[in-house]
């Protein structure tokens, strides 16, 4: 079947809907990306045009298709211990302060790779006596679908390529036979991570305070005004002196909350 074209009008309607509903920003330069991410879905639903798809996701009775569109437009590569320097910095901070209580928030957790990476590190530091047993990890995302997957904690083995052999043995189970090539995070670790749905572009109830917040590789989907608002909204949940992580390539986002830069993508709330 030939590729279904995306008209400028349909693209503009999709872009407006995504921005008004969840804060996502799609400039005209991203039209080809939107087309590539969604056209297969249009085909699978048996729709003849993108106009039909837009009418579907704009309707109140969309059968969950709007959320599916959000998922398709925001899914990016993720893996355990991505941007390792941030985990090294956090570990050094914890070895210095040796906290008895610690609360961490993975604010754009996607499929849970980041949250479980943090949990692995904290479990190991607890075992060594560096941190106390009273630690917690909260992982949130706008997508209910990816959160449901994250709760299961099952991943292709390649996603854990940065996990050491010792950590794999302690914290994971390798699949066999029909599950060969898959790895599942052990239940003892999965129980330490709470998952919940949250839209960062809407007011956030008091869910903190947190000592560490990761907000990595999600701001690229927002325009400049939305980025600043999201960062300030998230930082309201961070304790003074707490650590805040953005994606290394995202740079420093202008915000009202005073931050001290520690390393690329790493900050301390002042």
Distance, in Å, from the CA atom of 248 to the CA atom of 220, rounded to the nearest integer, reads: 12
Give pLDDT, residue 24. 87
- Which homologous superfamily is 84-153+188-269 in? Vaccinia Virus protein VP39 (3.40.50.150)
Could you tell me the pLDDT band of residue 3, with boundaries at 50, 70 and 90?
confident
For the chain, the domains span: 8-74, 84-153+188-269
Residue 85 pLDDT greater than 80, yes or no = yes
Q: Three-class SS of residue 230?
A: helix
What does pLDDT average to over the chain? Answer: 93
Could you tell me the pLDDT band of residue 199, with boundaries at 50, 70 and 90?
very high
Q: What is the pTM of this model?
A: 0.85
CA distances from 214 to 33, 99, 265 (A): 26, 18, 10
Residue 9 annotated to the active site: no
Residue 201 pLDDT greater than 60, yes or no = yes
Out of 54-68, 70-84, 156-170, the most confident range is 156-170
Distance, in Å, from the CA atom of 234 to the CA atom of 109, rounded to the nearest integer, reads: 14
Residue 134 pLDDT greater than 70, yes or no = yes
Annotated catalytic residue, options 71, 141, 192, 216: 141
Give pLDDT, residue 234. 97
Q: Region 107-117: what's the mean pLDDT?
A: 96
Give pLDDT, residue 2. 63
* pLDDT > 90: percent of the chain: 77
Distance, in Å, from the CA atom of 82 to the CA atom of 95, rounded to the nearest integer, reads: 21
Q: What's the pLDDT tens digit per position in 53-76?
A: 999 999 988 888 998 898 888 876
Instruction: Return the structure tokens found at 141.
Output: 């995302």
Second-level CATH architecture of 8-74: Orthogonal Bundle (1.10)
CA end-to-end span of the chain: 56
Annotated catalytic residue, options 37, 145, 170, 233: 37
Token match 């009008």: residue? 9
Give pLDDT, residue 267. 97
Residue 77 pLDDT greater than 80, yes or no = no
Give pLDDT, residue 166. 95
H or E, element range at 117: helix 113-127
Could you tell me the pLDDT band of residue 221, with boundaries at 50, 70 and 90?
confident
Burial class (CB in 10 A: 0-12, 13-18, 19+), 117: buried
Residue 37 annotated to the active site: yes
């Amino acid at each position: 079947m030939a590729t279904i074209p995306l008209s400028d009008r349909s693209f503009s309607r999709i872009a407006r809907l995504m921005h008004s509903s969840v804060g996502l920003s799609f400039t005209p330069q991203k039209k080809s990306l939107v087309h590539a991410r969604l056209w297969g879905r249009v085909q699978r639903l048996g729709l003849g045009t993108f106009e039909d798809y837009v009418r579907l996701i704009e309707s109140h009775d969309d059968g969950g298709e709007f959320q599916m569109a959000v998922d398709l437009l925001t899914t990016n590569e993720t893996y355990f211990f991505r941007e390792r320097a941030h985990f090294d910095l956090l570990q050094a901070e914890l070895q210095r302060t040796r906290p008895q209580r610690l609360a961490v928030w993975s604010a754009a957790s996607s499929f849970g790779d980041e949250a479980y990476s943090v949990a692995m590190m904290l479990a190991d530091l607890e075992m060594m006596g560096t941190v106390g047993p009273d630690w917690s990890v909260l992982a949130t995302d706008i997508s209910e679908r990816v959160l449901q997957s994250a709760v299961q904690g099952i991943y292709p083995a390649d996603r854990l390529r940065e996990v050491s052999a010792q950590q794999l043995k302690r914290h994971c189970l390798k699949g066999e036979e029909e599950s060969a090539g898959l790895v599942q995070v052990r239940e003892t670790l999965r129980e330490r991570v709470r998952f919940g749905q949250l839209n960062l572009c809407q007011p956030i109830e008091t869910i903190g305070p947190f000592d560490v917040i990761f907000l990595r590789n999600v701001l690229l989907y927002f325009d400049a005004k939305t980025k600043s608002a999201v960062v300030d909204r998230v930082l309201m949940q961070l304790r003074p002196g707490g650590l805040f992580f953005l994606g290394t390539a995202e740079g420093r986002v202008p915000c009202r909350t005073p931050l001290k830069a520690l390393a690329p993508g790493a900050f301390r709330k002042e």
